[in-house]
Amino acid sequence: SLELTIQNEYLQARFDPDTGLLMEVNNLEEGLQLAVRQAFFWYNASMGDGLSSQASGAYIFRPYRQEPMILSRWVQPRLVKTSLVQEVHQNFSAWCSQVIRLYRGRRQLEFEWTVGPIPVGDNWGKEIVSRFDAALDTKGLFYTDSNGREILERRRDYRPTWKLNQTEPVAGNYYPVNSRIYIKDSEMQLTVLTDRSQGGSSIRDGSIELMVHRRLLKDDGRGVGEPLQEDLPGRWVRGRHLLLLNKLKTAAAAHRLQAQEEVLAPQLVLASGDGTPYRPS
Amino acid sequence: SGASASLNEAMAVLQHHDAVSGTSKQHVANDYARQLAEGWGPCEVLLSNALARLSGSKKDFTFCRELNISLCPFTQGAHSFEVTVYNPLGRKVERMVRLPVSKEAFLVKGPDGAVVPNNVVPNPSSEQLELLFPATVPALGFSVYSVSRVSPRRPTSLRRRPRAQEAE
């Protein structure tokens, strides 16, 4: 029942003692406090229904129900605190776990998730998302990038150049995320940087979700000719999301500089020690 | 001799929309992976040659391709090793280096020979230990850190107490 907190000189993350899930992020440097919950959810992939025979597949994301199911309402957290890093380890299921990490001197909260192999023994294709729910009044707007260059404003159930008849409330609001997605209100901005291209959206005000893995049992009939299935026992993926909370006026500098460091990350080369002097000849 | 031509070619092939979006058939995805892996091999040699020339020392450079899943037989087995951190950005960066290891205590020294603080932390996903230390790398340059195993310090609670206290 002890409250879990990880903190460095710039950020503090607090965890719900009852569920073990993230519940609040504080930017100590800028004096910001935001209630943020984060958990993993899964969409049941459509195999086609009475409205349309369209199945979810490699090309098409089409959930059977518009509300995703939470993977676990609580986790048994494990806290690791050292001089260089503070971590909370969370185990959502046998095939989904996460480390939430705060390094000394860093201004972002790192989520390292490990997902898979997705079980499909129940004959349900599954599409797994990591969802951040924050107390922000975002008025139906969110922002995604285009190849890390131009940030585009996305408005739920809206297209800027034609009158949209929205028939897919979830999939119809998903957009490509190449390096970042963010939401904001009049005071602060919540940004999530990704380490790879993913699908993402803000289905409700204050919410950000990113699809991290999917395993499907039916071809979507758009050309690939195969379901997005995997050889037994299936694949697992590991990736990272970086969460930044900033005032509006500092947010762009923060996420742009950090995203550069992610996209052009330092490379490691190892060697066993002493070598011989190099001669160009 | 190293070469980047085959990786260039593989990357060019992978500009196809099927490779970018993941909508290829499985056997095509397998072939994309094969082309990337075969292209990366000669590139490792090229990078080794470049690092040898820049550092003035020819070494058996090792690349751990599975660091993302906390696997590196080299760092997990070696008693001491060097870590070259290359920064492709045009400004100085500070980065926390994470390397899978099998022991609990290390001495890390920076490019100037000064001791760098480090921790060994468990990675719950892979049930591995990971060595953690901060690295500072100049713009478009590299820093070399040396890592060596040391005997773990005895935790305070395990120290022998005076006999009289034990009897109590």
Say if B88 is an interface residue toward chain A (CB within 8 Å): yes
Nearest to A190 by CA among A42, A20, A70, A27: A27
- Tell me if residue A1 falls in helix, strand or coil: coil
Closest chain B residue to the Cα of A87, Cα to Cα = B121
Nearest to A126 by CA among A56, A208, A219: A56
Chain A residues in contact with B89 by the CB 8 A cut-off are 260-261, 264
Say if A10 is an interface residue toward chain B (CB within 8 Å): no
Say if A160 is an interface residue toward chain B (CB within 8 Å): no
Is residue B116 a contact partner of residue B133, using CB atoms and an 8 Å limit? yes
User: Which tens digits make up the pLDDT trace of A170-200?
Assistant: 999 999 999 999 999 999 999 999 999 999 9
Strand partners, A233: none
Instruction: List, for chain A, all residue ranges whose pLDDT scores fall below the cut of 70.
Output: 1-2, 147-148
Is residue B1 a contact partner of residue B50, using CB atoms and an 8 Å limit? no
**What was the pLDDT predicted at B159?**
44
Closest chain B residue to the Cα of A280, Cα to Cα = B53
Instruction: List, for chain B, all residue ranges whose pLDDT scores fall below the cut of 70.
Output: 125-126, 153-168
User: DSSP class of residue A107?
Assistant: S
**What was the pLDDT predicted at B68?**
84
User: Which tens digits make up the pLDDT trace of B41-54?
Assistant: 999 999 999 999 98
- Tell me if residue B46 falls in helix, strand or coil: helix
Nearest to B130 by CA among A84, A195, A271: A84
Chain B residues in contact with A267 by the CB 8 A cut-off are 85-86, 88
Kindly determine whether residue A270 and residue B85, on different chains, have CB atoms separated by under 8 Å. no
**What was the pLDDT predicted at B55?**
87
Closest chain B residue to the Cα of A177, Cα to Cα = B21
User: Which tens digits make up the pLDDT trace of A105-129?
Assistant: 999 999 999 999 999 999 999 999 9
Say if A78 is an interface residue toward chain B (CB within 8 Å): yes
**What was the pLDDT predicted at B104?**
83
**Distance (Å, whole) CA B51 – CA B54:** 5
Say if B63 is an interface residue toward chain A (CB within 8 Å): yes
**What was the pLDDT predicted at A230?**
84
For residue A202, CA distances in Å to A146, A183, A192, A199 come to: 16, 8, 12, 11
Kindly determine whether residue A267 and residue B67, on different chains, have CB atoms separated by under 8 Å. no
Kindly determine whether residue A270 and residue B75, on different chains, have CB atoms separated by under 8 Å. yes
